[in-house]
Amino acid sequence: MNQDQLHDAKEFKPRLYILVRDDLPDLSPGKLGAQVSHATNLFEQDTAKWDRDALESLEQWRGEGGGFGTCIVLRVDAYQLNYWLPRSRVVQDTSYPFRTWEGKLVTTDIHTCGWYFAHRADDPMMKLISELELF
């Protein structure tokens, strides 16, 4: 994904980026959908704490299409999610299920995904975001 695909500064539109770890054990399409839902719900909860500038961008984003805007799901690994993208918000899944090598179903407490809302054309995180692959 290149920078031109993400944003054209002349026609900037806010974007919600969902960052899902592709190195999670036993990640199925259903679990991927659940993690995207977790990140989106956390995003909605967090918007209550935003400043005026971010809230204006949020309203612009929501006005794009029936109450929501463009959402792009990107691949990350544990390092990228926890350290490389310092301004993203991380989801802590307290009961992520997976099967062990022996086939036993277990759950773990793990960072699974996160979100980042790009609301300015000059957002410094866009350089890092542009280096990630689509999920």
**Mapping DSSP to helix (H, G, I), strand (E, B) and coil, where does residue 42 land?**
helix
Q: How confident is the model at residue 37 (pLDDT cuts 50, 70, 90)?
A: very high
Q: What CATH number is associated with residue 40? A: 3.40.1490.10
Structure tokens that stand for 113 in this block = 């995904």
Provide the domain limits for residue 64.
12-129
pLDDT tens for residues 41-79? 999 999 989 989 889 999 999 998 888 899 999 999 999
Count the helices and strands in the chain (H runs, E runs): 5, 4
Q: Does 135 reside within a domain? A: no
Q: Does 120 reside within a domain? A: yes
pTM for this model (two decimals): 0.88
Q: Does 7 reside within a domain? A: no
pLDDT of amino acid 66:
83
